[in-house]
Amino acid sequence: MRVLVIDDDPFARSLLARQLSELAIQEVELVDSGEAALSRLARGMPAFDALIVDLNMPGMDGVQFLRHLARQRFRGGLVLVSGEDADILRSVAKLASARRLRVAGTLHKPIALESLGQALGAVPTFAESTVMGDMRRTYDEQDLRKAIATGQLVNFYQPQVRMIDGAVAGVEALVRWQHPDDGLVFPSDFIPLVEQSGLSDELAGAVLAGALRAARQWRGAGLELRVSVNVAMDNLFALDLPEKVVNAAAEAGVPAECVVLEITESQVTRDLDRLLDVATRLRLKRVGLAIDDFGTGYSSLAQLRDVPFDELKLDRSFVHGASSNPQLQAILRATLDMARQLGLRTVAEGVEDREDWDNLRDMACDFAQGYLIARPMPAEAILNWSSDWRAKGHQRLVKPQ
Ligand code: C2E
Ligand code: MG
Ligand code: MG
């Protein structure tokens, strides 16, 4: 195993070097800063299996360093080291995982040999997925334009059901890229590129059109569903968005009130006037507006105050497992209370098990979405799923009145 140690403190470096040799790890390099580590990694071969990173360094600190590593998609293991308290180490580890880095362990200084060995022991288990990670292609703007133009982007649909009676109320359209070589590519691997390339409007247009076509077909078969489509904040700056949505719905023969736009804020709002212009006109035309991933990122009370949302989607990080976590319970209860008082429809995402369902139902959440009910599926599968669900699926969840 090849290990790179990044620590500004010469004493800590030599101590680690000694410990690593006691663990019979021979190939070790030492650098004194994040900058030095990045330039060493940029030289490429030989590649490192693991990095041991001190979080407290002058110049580029450990958190900044991890940001750079994430951008380069470093696939090896990370061992995070700090003299700070355990909470901070835990938060940084969480941040690193959220950025898709692989954290093998967090160690408190002074480092015990045994915990160092344990952390590094977790690294080889990454080997298999490292190969996958390296094989995963990154895409560029050209690929993406072609995908949109040639219809390689397809919608999957995930049902939302009403918690009081299990009625199938709607679906959320979730885009996937049916890639000719790579198979089904998930949004996390291309949505950031969409936004960077200024292709948000094209994507939203394609997803909405697909969702409306599907909705039309389901209606034809007697299933009237609301369809929710994710849009980026950028889309809401196009002043003609309300007209586009309403026209597309009319053309498909689906009432505008059956369309919900889900908004996650990815940047701090630059132009509130414009946003409010578009948002209020959407609502005047009866198009639904949901605040997505509520409780995370930039979604905030200020947005709830300013933008005329009519639906609040609770992020799954507050939903799954809440019944056994008093902190999550408190957040859920307060958020649902607030939503009720503001007259917002509430939808819980990430309902994965019976406990999640019972917990939310007891708190009078309106709708549930998640693996317990159904995974996202192609449009053609919705009708069958819905009759199965009505026949038997929901009986195990809904209390007889
Ligand atoms: P989101 O809007 O919050 O969508 C929910 C995500 O949670 C979906 O992932 C869904 O498959 C997943 N999910 C559903 N139920 C469960 C569950 O019970 N447990 C867990 N762990 N996960 C569950 P997906 O499809 O990978 O989408 C990820 C994100 O990508 C979406 O988050 C949304 O922000 C974005 N996205 C998806 N489609 C579009 C789109 O058409 N346009 C834009 N701009 N963004 C999109
Ligand atoms: Mg969504
Ligand atoms: Mg969400």
Q: Which ligand is the nearest neighbour of the Cα of 199? A: 1
Q: Which ligand is nearest to the CA of 350?
A: 1
- For residue 370 and ligand 1, the question of a CB distance below 6 A is answered with yes
- 262 CA distance to ligand 3 centroid (A)? 8
Query: What does the domain layout of the chain look like in residue ranges?
Result: 2-133, 139-396
CA of 230 to the centre of ligand 2 (A): 5
C-beta of 295 in contact with ligand 1 (< 6 A):
no
CA of 81 to the centre of ligand 1 (A): 33
Residue 189 amino acid letter: D
Higher pLDDT, 76 or 398: 76
Nearest CA to ligand 1 atom 7: 350
With the most atoms of ligand 1 within 8 angstroms of its CB, the residue from 184, 349, 351 to mutate is: 349
Residue type, 194: V
CA 352 to chain centre: 16
Ligand 1 contact via 28 beta carbon (within 6 Å): no
Atom of ligand 1 lying closest to residue 351 CA: 18
Question: Region 12-40: what's the mean pLDDT?
Answer: 94
| Structure confidence at residue 21 (pLDDT) | 95
* Distance in Å, CA 174 to ligand 1 centroid: 6
* 260 C-beta closer than 6 A to ligand 1: no
Q: Are 356 and 141 in contact (CB under 8 A)?
A: no
Ligand nearest to the CA of 260: 2
Rounded to whole angstroms, the Cα distance separating 274 from 235 reads 11
Ion ligand 3 nearby residues (CB, 5 A): 292-293, 349
Q: What CATH number belongs to 139-396?
A: 3.20.20.450
Query: With contact defined as beta carbons under 8 Å apart, do 390 and 359 qualify?
Result: no
Q: Is the CB of 29 under 6 A from ligand 1?
A: no
Neighbours of 123 (CB within 10 A): 21
Q: Which atom of ligand 1 is nearest to the CA of 293?
A: 3
Q: Which residue lies with its CA nearest to atom 17 of ligand 1? A: 350
349 lines ligand 1 (CB under 6 A): yes
- Å from CA of 182 to ligand 1 middle: 20
Q: Quick check: CB of 187 below 6 Å from ligand 1?
A: yes
According to the 3-state scheme, what is the secondary structure of 225-278? CEEEEEEEHHHHHCCCHHHHHHHHHHHHCCCHHHEEEEEECCCCCCCHHHHHHH
User: How high is the pLDDT of residue 267?
Assistant: 54
Q: Which of 209, 202, 211 is nearest to 248 (CA)?
A: 209
Residue 262 has pLDDT above 70, yes or no: yes
* Cβ-contact 93, 106 below 8 angstroms: yes
Amino acid letter for position 238: A
Nearest CA to ligand 1 atom 46: 230
158 Cβ inside 6 Å of ligand 1: yes
Residues 353 and 372 sit within 8 Å (Cβ to Cβ): yes
pTM over 0.85? The answer is no
Cα-to-centroid distance, 283 and ligand 1 (Å): 24
Return the residue whose CA atom lies nearest to atom 23 of ligand 1: 350
Q: Is the pLDDT confidence value at 336 over 90? A: yes
- pLDDT of 131 > 60? The answer is no
pLDDT of residue 132: 42
**Residue 378 DSSP code:** E
pLDDT band at residue 399 using 50, 70 and 90 as cut-offs = low
Rounded mean pLDDT, 240-259: 96
pLDDT at 147: 94
pLDDT at 369: 98
State the DSSP string of 165-206. T--EEEEEEEEEEEETTTEEEPGGGTHHHHHHTT-HHHHHHH
- Which atom of ligand 1 is nearest the CA belonging to 232? 44
Q: How confident is the model over 191-229, as pLDDT tens digits?
A: 989 988 889 999 999 999 999 999 999 999 999 999 999
For residue 226, the model assigns a pLDDT of: 98
Q: Is the CB of 290 under 6 A from ligand 1?
A: no
Domain 2-133, what architecture? 3-Layer(aba) Sandwich (3.40)
Give residue 133's pLDDT. Answer: 42
